[in-house]
Amino acid sequence: MTNKLNLNNLTKSEEDYLKAIFQLLIEDDSVKVGNNQLADYLKVSPASTNNMIKKLKTKGYVVSEKYGKLDLTEEGKSIAVRLIRKHRLWETFLCNYLNFTWDEVHDVAEQLEHIKSRKLIDELDRFMDFPKKDPHGEMIPNANGDYSIIPKIMLSSLSEGDVCQLVAVNDGSVHFLKYVSEIGLALSSEIKILEVREFDKSIRIKFDNIIETVTRKFADNVFVKKVV
Amino acid sequence: MTNKLNLNNLTKSEEDYLKAIFQLLIEDDSVKVGNNQLADYLKVSPASTNNMIKKLKTKGYVVSEKYGKLDLTEEGKSIAVRLIRKHRLWETFLCNYLNFTWDEVHDVAEQLEHIKSRKLIDELDRFMDFPKKDPHGEMIPNANGDYSIIPKIMLSSLSEGDVCQLVAVNDGSVHFLKYVSEIGLALSSEIKILEVREFDKSIRIKFDNIIETVTRKFADNVFVKKVV
DNA sequence: TTAATTTGTTAGTCATGGCTAACTTTTTTA
DNA sequence: TAAAAAAGTTAGCCATGACTAACAAATTAA
Ligand SMILES: [Mn+2]
Ligand SMILES: [Mn+2]
Ligand SMILES: [Mn+2]
Ligand SMILES: [Mn+2]
C-alpha cells in the first residue's frame, strides 16, 4: 500500500502537462498520445515536452518507451482527474455565483485549478451542493476522484434525419462559445440534422424552429445524445 | 494622463515583493525599509531582494538610491493595495462561506491573491455584499484602491488600568491565531490591562471575566482601540 | 575618530521551463 | 524497398528567481 498521501508537490507546469496528456488520452482512447501532439496541444515546442516528459517519467507519473507513445500511471491519472475536478468546480462557481458567462470562465479556471488546498475545493463543492455538471455540460469528478467516461458523440458524426440533444460543448475557445450562444443553442437544445453536405461536410440543423448551417469544425466541438 | 490601464503583467514573485514592501512601509511609516529587512521579511537572501529590487526599479514600481532605503511609486503602491484587497476578500470568503477558521485562511489567500481577473475579484466583492473588514479585523480596500490607514495601537503599548477593545490581529502565524481563539479572545472583546510586569514586559489582562497573562510578543500582535 | 558591526552590492552558481537547430528513428509513400 | 516525410531526441541557449561567498559602504560603538 504505497498510498503515500500524495503531497502534490507539483509545479503549475507539471500539472498542466499531466492534465493535457489525460485530456488527449480520453479524447480518443484508441489512439495513443505522441510527443509532437502534446507539444501542439500545449502550444510549446516538441523539445519542451520531451524534456518535461522525462521529468514526469522519473517522478512516476508518465510511462513511455524511447520513441514510443505516452501513457499515464494510476498516480498520474489521479492527479489529472483532481485538476479537472478543480477546474470544473471553479467554472461552475464562476457561472452560478459570480455572474460569469460560459465563455468567460475557462481562462480563470485555468489559473484557479492550481491553487493547492484540499479543503478549499471540497468546501466549494459542498457550498454549491455537489454539482454534477459544469457550465459546458461536462461531468465533475467527485472527491473520490471517480471519472466516469461518457463516450462523446460529436454532432458531426450524425446523419441526415437524426435528432439529438446537446449535452456538452468544448470549452477551449471563447469565440466558439460566444458563437454557440449567439445562434441560440444551449445545453439540452434538441437538434435535428436536416442535411449533411458532401462538398465541405457543412451541416444544416434545426432547433427551436431556427435553421442554421454550421461547419464541420463547429460540429466537431458540439457533443450530443442521440434521440432518434 | 499616462494611466496606461495597468496590464498587470507581473509574476507572482514581483507581486509578493511589492506587497511586502508596502506592508513594511505602512507597518511603521516613520522608519524606511531596507534591503536586509525586506529579505528577512520574505525569508530570502539579501542578494535575492537586491536583484529583484533592481528589476522593480527599472519597471517603475520601486524607487531607491544606491545604498539607500526603499520606497514605492504610486504605481507600485496601487499594485500592492490591489493585492491586499484580493487577499482580504478571499480570506473573508473562505471564513464566511467555506467554513474555514481564521487561522486557516492566510496560506490559501496567499495563493488566491495572485489570480489575475478583475471581474473575479469585483464579483466576489459584490457576492459578499462589499464587506468592510476581513476575518482578522483588517480593512478591505475597495475597487477604487482606497486604502485607509488606520493607525494601529498595539496591546503592548497600553498601561495598567487602560481598557480597550480588540479590533484586529496579525494574520501571519497560525500558532498565534489558534492561541488567540483558545484563550477566548475574539474581535470586539473588551480587554482591561491589570498589570504590566517590568521584568519581562508580560501583561496581565482581563476580558469576559477571564484573567490571562500574555507575553510582550503576543501583545505586539494584537491591535486595539482604547476605550478608557 | 578609528574600529567593529551592520547593511547593501556584486559575481558566480543552480534549477526550472521555455526556445532553436541539428540529428536520429520511425512511419509513410512512391 | 528505397526515398521522403513525420515524429522524437539531443545539445546548447536564454530568462527567472533562488542561493553562497566575497566585497564595499554606511552606521554604531569604543
Ligand atoms: Mn474549462
Ligand atoms: Mn492550468
Ligand atoms: Mn492574510
Ligand atoms: Mn502571495
- Closest Cα in chain B, distance from residue A179 (Å): 22
Which residues, in sequence order, are bridge partners of residue B164?
B191, B226
**Rounded distance in angstroms from the CA atom of residue B18 to the C1' atom of nucleotide D23:** 28
Q: Which residues of chain B lie closer than 8 angstroms to A97, CB-CB?
A: 127
pLDDT on residue A115: 98
Which residues, in sequence order, are bridge partners of residue A210?
A207
pLDDT tens digits, A174-189: 999 999 999 999 999 9
pLDDT tens digits, B23-75: 999 977 778 999 999 999 999 999 999 999 999 999 999 999 999 999 999 99
Q: Which chain A residues have any C-beta within 8 angstroms of a chain B C-beta?
A: 94, 97-100, 104, 107-108, 111-112, 115-117, 119-120, 123-124, 127
Residues with CB under 5 A from ligand 4 (ion): B 16, 110
pLDDT tens digits, B104-126: 999 999 999 999 999 999 999 99
A115/B108 Cβ within 8 A: yes
| pTM score, whole prediction | 0.92
pLDDT on residue A2: 38
* B36 CB contact with strand D at below 7 Å: no
Q: Which of B100, B104, B117 sits opposite A108 (nearest CB)?
A: B117
* A57 CB contact with strand C at below 7 Å: no
Cβ pair A75, A63 in contact under 8 A? no
B220: its cell numbers = 505586539
Q: Nearest-CA residue of chain B relative to A123?
A: B98
pLDDT tens digits, B154-186: 999 999 999 999 999 999 889 999 999 999 999
In chain A, positions 35-54 with C-beta closer than 7 Å to nucleic chain C are 43-48, 51-52
Which residues, in sequence order, are bridge partners of residue B3?
none
B115/A112 Cβ within 8 A: yes
Report the separation in Å between the CA atom of A85 and the middle of ligand 1, taken as the mean of its atom positions: 10
Percentage of chain B lying above the pLDDT 90 cut = 88
pLDDT on residue B150: 82
Report the separation in Å between the CA atom of B94 and the middle of ligand 1, taken as the mean of its atom positions: 23
B187 burial class (0-12, 13-18, 19+ CB within 10 angstroms)? middle
A111/B117 Cβ within 8 A: yes
| Stated length of chain B | 228
Angle at B29 between CA B26 and CA B30, to 5 degrees: 165
β pairing state of A203-207 and A190-196: antiparallel
Report the separation in Å between the CA atom of B151 and the middle of ligand 3, taken as the mean of its atom positions: 18
β pairing state of A210-214 and A222-226: unpaired
Q: Which of A98, A117, A120 sits opposite B124 (nearest CB)?
A: A98
